Amino acid sequence: MKPYLQVEDLTKSYGDRMLFDSITFGVNEGDKIGIIAKNGTGKSTLLRLLSGREAPDSGTVTFRNDLRVGFLDQTPVFEPGTSLMSNLLPALHENDHEEWNREDRVRQMLSQLGINDAGQSVDHLSGGQIKRAALARVLLGAPDLLILDEPTNHLDIPTVEWLENYLSRQRVTLLMVTHDRYFLDRVCNKIIEIDMKQIFTYEGNFDSYLRRRAERIEALTGELAKVKNTLRKEQEWMRRQPQARAGKARYRINAFYDLKERASVRYDERNIDPDEVKSSYIGSKIFEAKGVSKRFGDKVILDDFTYMFARYEKVGIVGENGVGKSTFIKMLQGIVRQDSGEWNVGETVRFGYYSQEGINLPEGKRVIDAITDITEDVVINGTTHYTPMQFLTRFLFSPADQQKYISTLSGGEMRRLNLAAVLITQPNFLILDEPTNDLDIMTLGILEEYLRNFKGCVIVISHDRFFLDSIVDHLFVMEGNGVIKDFPGNYTDYRNYLKELKAAQTLEAANKQQPKAAAPSRRSESVERPRRMTFKERKEYEALTAEIDSLTAEKNELEALFNSGENIPDIADKAARYSELKELLDEKELRWLELSELA
């Protein structure tokens, strides 16, 4: 097991804010490591230190000599005015195949990531497309070590699943930050958690990490209880012994302050209380869509959509990028006008909209001031009152964090603030457009618990499969061209349904290809004796059996290759061979069936 990367005594702080202190860990060949931490505790900073984009306060980062490292930034950039192809071609190695094949590989990788025009200018790409193009550039370089910062952000679910399959099959060493828990569980074999300015390493996938972390927190909580019990006794001693402070028991006084610091550690991560942050009352009439249609030119978003929403309904919206998911929820709120049809919204409905763009909060203001501008009195359940400062502490903003200027917040902190700004108005119909981007796993768990207990309606667009499985009762599957199908179940149920449907269709197609055996004719007097197989036919039958086995094995290998997510340099040739194999098998299996009747 070759060491690829060694981190020794790494320390990083910003002013008086310490992110991590003297952390040490290694990355070996074959490791697939996920980094987990609360937002603002240094995940992305650690990756920037490893890439050399920032310098540590102290400590060393050492890579193995001649190691190829691919780094995906959370917010990648391309040189303006250049084409995608010109940016991605240099990522391929010099000893790759001919130029036409190099371009074909670039197009193939981009296509697998949902970009079909490799010649377009990077100036015309959306933020999500830039992230996909940067991911393609990193993967095309076939690095020994991949360092990825939030690789699944801005990817739709089919592309996330392709990437998940690709990384789990590739013999690549991986170090990444992601909040996608299914992704962590299915790809990683090791988890590193940043907590309390230190790191904790857990062997195994995300599910194993959850179990072992719970054991660690339980042990720390037990230790904390003992510390607090000792602290109480020492506090009594300090109050009874004022003269001791003059120097007689200085060692005990120092120990007291050490205990006090240790007792101040918090392990409770339930900062949003689902029983307190509730919705306002919602009546029995929610809203009804009647014959709603919408198109942009030739692109159809909705086509005669009709639906009656029920009280407390929780719906997930899924579909490929570009089918109109965000447009759908903007139409529901009247932000985008429909071409025809109508939305009838109940009088008690109060929308809370959490968008990808976020609320337009003034960057020049402090966090506390921005929330106070929305309301100075947060009323919960009509009786309990909170100040904006008290409310913000439930969203992981400490009093010190509340004094930060909005312009200095990290992406995750900004997401949390937007969430607080939405929920502080006590909506009873939440509309969430990609709410999980940039939220840490701890906050995601809190949000999921809140939504499960939410006494109102929820519509959520998300590529986070774990989040969808935790929240929704059913799905709107937007298939494109205005078609929306209502699926009764969560996302995993839907994927299993698709797999079963595909298997049934494959079986049906196979049955149609097999000729039906002719029904035996009845003879009134005698039964005709069947013809026996000749020697020549016997030899042909045996040869066909071996040949069909060989062709089937080759066909299965190609299918496995196509489904693997790997780069396939000669994909056109292999696709042609695959079609040829199917024709050959049909022909030879038909002849084999004819001969088998004589066997």
pLDDT of 69 higher than 80:
yes
Which pLDDT tens digit goes with each residue over 116-154? 888 999 998 887 789 899 999 999 998 999 999 999 887
Three-state SS at 419: helix
Beta-bridged to residue 308, according to DSSP, are 288
Three-state SS at 407: helix
Beta strands 384-386 and 378-380: pairing type?
A: antiparallel
Query: Residue 274: what pLDDT?
Result: 44
Query: Residue 527: what pLDDT?
Result: 45
Which residue reads 């010649």 in tokens? Answer: 119
Taking 3-state DSSP, the helix, strand and coil percentages for the chain, each rounded to the nearest 5, stand at 45, 20, 35
Which pLDDT tens digit goes with each residue over 568-593? 777 767 777 877 887 787 778 777 76
Mean pLDDT, rounded, of the chain: 81
- Whether residue 348 contacts residue 281, with contact meaning beta carbons closer than 8 Å, is answered with yes
Which pLDDT tens digit goes with each residue over 468-516? 999 998 999 999 899 999 998 889 989 888 888 888 888 877 777 766 5
Question: Would you state the structure tokens that stand for residue 382, as one six-digit string?
Answer: 């009509």
**358-372: average pLDDT:** 86
**353-365: average pLDDT:** 82
- Whether residue 210 contacts residue 188, with contact meaning beta carbons closer than 8 Å, is answered with no
**What gap in Å lies between CA 529 and CA 531, rounded to an integer?**
7
Helix/strand/coil (H/E/C) assignment for every residue in 148-211:
EECCCCCCCHHHHHHHHHHHHHCCCEEEEECCCHHHHHHHCCEEEEEECCEEEEEECCHHHHHH
- Whether residue 159 contacts residue 114, with contact meaning beta carbons closer than 8 Å, is answered with yes
Query: Residue 382: what pLDDT?
Result: 58
pLDDT of 272 higher than 50:
no
Contacts of 219 (CB under 8 A, 6+ apart): none
pLDDT of 41 higher than 60:
yes
**What gap in Å lies between CA 87 and CA 118, rounded to an integer?**
10
CA distances, 506 to each of 147, 343, 498, 561 (Å)? 39, 41, 12, 19
**What gap in Å lies between CA 146 and CA 72, rounded to an integer?**
8
Contacts of 224 (CB under 8 A, 6+ apart): 262, 263, 265, 267
Burial class (CB within 10 angstroms; exposed 0-12, middle 13-18, buried 19+) of 249? middle
Query: Any idea which of 47-56, 78-87, 531-540 has the lowest mean pLDDT?
Result: 531-540
**What gap in Å lies between CA 512 and CA 492, rounded to an integer?**
30
**165-187: average pLDDT:** 91
Query: Residue 561: what pLDDT?
Result: 76
Query: Residue 340: what pLDDT?
Result: 94
**372-380: average pLDDT:** 78
Contacts of 66 (CB under 8 A, 6+ apart): none
**What gap in Å lies between CA 222 and CA 200, rounded to an integer?**
18
**What gap in Å lies between CA 244 and CA 26, rounded to an integer?**
48
Going by C-alpha positions, the residue among 424, 457, 460 that lies closest to residue 283 is 457
Query: Residue 281: what pLDDT?
Result: 58
Query: Residue 384: what pLDDT?
Result: 66
Query: Residue 510: what pLDDT?
Result: 77
Confidence of residue 559 (pLDDT cuts 50, 70, 90): confident
Going by C-alpha positions, the residue among 304, 288, 292, 294 that lies closest to residue 344 is 288
Residue 244 carries which DSSP code?
G
pLDDT higher at 562 or 382: 562
- Whether residue 489 contacts residue 465, with contact meaning beta carbons closer than 8 Å, is answered with no
pLDDT of 271 higher than 50:
no
Confidence of residue 255 (pLDDT cuts 50, 70, 90): low
Which pLDDT tens digit goes with each residue over 386-431? 788 888 887 778 888 899 899 888 877 888 888 888 888 878 889 9
Of all residues in the chain, the percent with pLDDT exceeding 70 is: 81
Region for 424 from its dihedrals, namely left if φ exceeds 0, alpha if ψ lies in -120 to 50, beta otherwise: alpha
pLDDT of 440 higher than 60:
yes
First to last CA, the chain: 56
Predicted structure pTM score:
0.68
pLDDT of 523 higher than 50:
no
**What gap in Å lies between CA 101 and CA 103, rounded to an integer?**
5
pLDDT of 214 higher than 50:
yes
pLDDT of 465 higher than 80:
yes
Beta strands 299-308 and 287-296: pairing type?
A: antiparallel
- Whether residue 318 contacts residue 268, with contact meaning beta carbons closer than 8 Å, is answered with no
Three-state SS at 41: coil
- Whether residue 568 contacts residue 561, with contact meaning beta carbons closer than 8 Å, is answered with yes
Cα 137-141-142 angle, rounded to 5 deg: 125
**What gap in Å lies between CA 209 and CA 189, rounded to an integer?**
10
Handedness of CA 137, 410, 187, 443 (dihedral sign): negative
Cα 133 to the center of its chain, rounded Å: 17
Query: Residue 552: what pLDDT?
Result: 81
Helices 571-596 & 535-563 angle (0-180, nearest 10) = 150
Confidence of residue 366 (pLDDT cuts 50, 70, 90): very high
Confidence of residue 164 (pLDDT cuts 50, 70, 90): very high
pLDDT of 58 higher than 90:
yes
Cα 363-43-87 angle, rounded to 5 deg: 80
Which pLDDT tens digit goes with each residue over 278-328? 555 566 678 889 999 999 988 999 999 999 888 888 999 998 878 889 899
Query: Residue 597: what pLDDT?
Result: 65
Instruction: Give the helix/strand (H/E) hosting 23.
Output: strand 17-28
Query: Any idea which of 138-142, 219-223, 253-257, 411-415 has the lowest mean pLDDT?
Result: 253-257
Of all residues in the chain, the percent with pLDDT exceeding 90 is: 28
Going by C-alpha positions, the residue among 359, 340, 279 that lies closest to residue 312 is 279
pLDDT higher at 575 or 266: 575
pLDDT higher at 5 or 503: 5
